[in-house]
Amino acid sequence: MEVLEFNENLKFDENLILVLGYFDGLHRGHQALFKQAREIASVLNLKIAVLTFPEKPTIAFQKFEPDLLLKLTSDDKRAKLFAENGVDYLVFQDFTSKFAHQTSAEFTQNFVKKFNPKVVVTGFDYTTGSDMKNLKSSDDFKVVIVPELADKVGKISSTRIRDAVKAGNVAKANELLGYAYETRGRVVHGFARGRQLGYPTANLVIKDYVHIPAAGVYTVDVAINQKILRGFASIGYNDTFNNKEKTIEVHIFDFSEEIYGEELTILWLDKIRDMIKFDGIDSLIAQMKSDETTARNW
Ligand SMILES: Cc1cc2nc3c(=O)[nH]c(=O)nc-3n(C[C@H](O)[C@H](O)[C@H](O)COP(=O)(O)O)c2cc1C
Ligand SMILES: Nc1ncnc2c1ncn2[C@@H]1O[C@H](COP(=O)(O)OP(=O)(O)O)[C@@H](O)[C@H]1O
C-alpha cells in the first residue's frame, strides 16, 4: 500500500475504485464496505484508493476538546488495517474549513475525479460537500452505497465501540471491531512495588491519541518482540497506594525479562473486575492470585 498526501497535482494514470470515509477503527461495518470494494475491484481488475482524513472532520466544526482527537487506533494501526482491507493507495486530505465549504459538485470536481474512479464506494450515511448531498452516479463513475451492518442492538458504529471501550466493556468492543482493541505503549519505571507483590508490572506511557479503557483489571495478551504472551493488566490509581497519577500496567505470565524502554502492545481481551482499595498488600496479592487464574483460563 502506498500512503500519499492529497494535493492538486496528484495524478493517477490508471482507473481506480475509490472509497470515501473517515473509518475510525475500521470495524466490522467498515470491513463490509471494503469487502464490497474488493469484490468490485477484482471483477474490474482495478486497484483500490481511499481518500480519508488524518483527524476527525468534527474538529473543523466544534469547540475543541481533547477528546475530539482521540481515536480507536493509533495512526500506524489505522494504516495497517487499511492495507489488510485491501487498500492500494491511502490518500490523506486535511479536513479544513475550506475543504468543508466546497459544494458537493466542487468536491467531485476537485477531489473525486483526480482518482479516475470507475466506481466510488461509500457508506449509506455518507454525504459530501457543504450541501450534504449523497454522491450520484454519472457518466464518469458509478456510485455504490453499502447498506449499514447491524446487530441486535442496531448499527455497528465507531460511537458504540468508543462507548464500550470507555465503559471498560472491551469484549463488546472487540466483537464490534472484529479484532482485539489494542493500546501501544513504552515501558517506564514505576514505584518498583510490583516485584514485592510477586507480580512485576511493566508501566506504560502512551503517546498515541487513543481511547483508553475504563479503570479496572483486565485479561490481556501482550505483543512484544514479535511474540504474543498472556498477562493481566490494571488501569487506574492503584487505590491501595493512593497514587496521584493514573497508570496502565501489565504483568506478563511466565516472563522475567527487564523490558524498560521497550515498546509493547496490549490487546484488551476482557474485563475481570473494578480496581479495589485494599487495607493491606496481603489481600491485594490474594486477589491478584485469583485474577491470574481468571486471566490464564480465559
Ligand atoms: C492484574 C492487576 C490487578 C491489580 N489490582 C489492583 C487493585 O485492585 N487495587 C490496587 O490498589 N492496585 C491494583 N493493582 C496495581 C498494583 O497496586 C501495582 O501493580 C503495584 O502497586 C505495582 O506498581 P508499580 O509498577 O508502580 O511498582 C493491580 C495490578 C495488576 C497487574
Ligand atoms: N513478568 C513480567 N511482566 C512485566 N514486567 C516484568 C516481568 N518480569 C520482569 N519485568 C520487568 O520488571 C519491571 C517491573 O517491575 P516493578 O517492580 O513492577 O517495577 P516498576 O515499578 O518499575 O514497574 C518491568 O518494567 C519489566 O522491566
pLDDT of res. 125? 80
Q: Which atom of ligand 1 is nearest to the CA of 239?
A: 11
> What's the confidence (pLDDT) of residue 25?
98
132 has pLDDT over 80: no
Mean pLDDT of all residues in 28-53: 97
84-129 residue pLDDT tens = 999 999 999 999 999 999 999 999 999 999 999 999 999 888 877 7
206-265 pLDDT tens trace = 999 999 999 999 999 999 999 999 999 999 998 888 888 999 999 999 999 999 999 999
Q: ipTM of this predicted complex?
A: 0.94
Delimit the domains of the chain by residue range: 2-146, 181-297
Which residue owns the Cα nearest ligand 2 atom 9? 256
pLDDT at site 172: 98
Residues 121-142, mean pLDDT to the nearest whole number: 84
Residue 131: band (very low, low, confident or very high) from pLDDT cuts 50, 70, 90: confident
* Protein residues with CB under 6 Å of any ligand 2 atom: 187, 189-192, 194-195, 200-203, 251-252, 255-260
Q: Burial, 4: exposed, middle or buried (Cβ in 10 Å; 0-12, 13-18, 19+)?
A: middle
181-297 in CATH: which number? 2.40.30.30
> Looking at the predicted structure, is the pLDDT value of residue 294 above 80?
yes
Q: Find, among 74, 67, 88, the residue nearest to 18 by Cα.
A: 88
Whether pTM exceeds 0.80: yes
Residue range 36-65: average pLDDT? 96
In whole angstroms, give the CA distance from residue 149 to residue 164. Answer: 18
Q: Which three cell numbers stand for residue 256?
A: 522475567
Q: State what percent of residues in the chain have pLDDT above 70.
A: 100
String of DSSP letters for 39-100: HHHHHHT-EEEEEE-SS-GGGGTS---GGGG-BSS-HHHHHHHHHHTT-SEEEE----HHHH
Mean pLDDT value across residues 18-26: 96
Nearest atom within ligand 1 for CA of residue 238: 11
Residues 10/114, Cβ–Cβ less than 8 Å: yes
Look-up: residue for cell 482491507?
Answer: 85
User: Cβ(55) to ligand 1 under 6 A?
Assistant: no
Catalytic residue among 39, 249, 263, 292: 249
CA–centroid distance, residue 187 to ligand 2 (Å): 9
- Which pLDDT score, from 0 to 100, does residue 71 have? 97
Q: Answer yes or no: 249 catalytic.
A: yes
Residue 184 pLDDT level (bands cut at 50, 70, 90): very high
What residues form DSSP beta bridges with 5? 92
Using a 6 Å cutoff on CB, does residue 276 contact ligand 1? yes
Confidence bin at 66 (pLDDT 50/70/90) = confident
Q: What is the pLDDT of the chain when averaged over all its residues? A: 95
120-129, 195-204, 246-255, 266-275: lowest mean pLDDT where?
Answer: 120-129
Residue 213's pLDDT is what?
Answer: 98
CATH no. of 2-146 = 3.40.50.620
